[in-house]
Amino acid sequence: MQAIAVVGTKKSGKTTTIENLTRELTKRGYKVAAIKHISEPTFTIDTPGKDTWRYLQAGAKTIVATGPNQTITIENTGTQLAALLKKCKNNDVVFIEGFKKTIAKNQTIPKIAVTKNPVEAENTIETYNPIIAFTGSYNTTNTYQNTPYANAQTNPKKLTNIIEKTILKK
């Protein structure tokens, strides 16, 4: 399994990048997972008053809810990235969005930087390492020639090719 972080500022296109890469990698036969860190302190996937919420309120640490097409697991635990990655072990690729401080200088997790302007690109270079590719509305081709650029919205195949060549070695 290979983790890849997609980094950038709010509303830069990180989610769309992950969505398009997931679609393209899935077409190519890869199993893809995604981890999204939501930093809002009151965030919950659960709905107050519903059965699963009531179970958590009663003290259950893990709730599994299932329907005809989906099963979800709600765990009343912390958000340690290593533990979350273990949950994705049966996949080929795991995209990570969020965990800025944990991801920033972690050399074992390659990053795709989504940028909207030159200032964002410069800040990204200073904050994150290693960056395997740039994407987003700001084309970095002439600025950062050692790091490839591919627009994930208009040409997700090119960015997927970069991932396969540099990370998945296919």
Are 115 and 134 in contact by the 8 Å Cβ rule? The answer is: yes
* pLDDT higher than threshold 90 for residue 75: no
**Average model confidence (pLDDT) across the chain:** 91
- Please confirm whether the linkage preceding 148 is cis (ω < 30° from 0): no
* pLDDT higher than threshold 80 for residue 41: no
Architecture of domain 2-37+79-168: 3-Layer(aba) Sandwich (3.40)
Burial 83-101 (b: 16+ CB within 10 A, else e): ebbeebeebbbbbbbbbee
Q: What is the mean pLDDT of residues 63-71?
A: 89
* pLDDT higher than threshold 80 for residue 54: yes
How many C-beta neighbours within 10 Å does residue 46 have?
18
| pLDDT confidence tier of residue 48, bands split at 50, 70 and 90 | confident
Q: Please report, for the chain, the start and end positions of each structural domain, with discontinuous segments joined by +.
A: 2-37+79-168, 40-77
Q: Which of 34-38, 45-49, 54-58, 111-115 has the highest mean pLDDT?
A: 111-115
| pLDDT confidence tier of residue 115, bands split at 50, 70 and 90 | very high
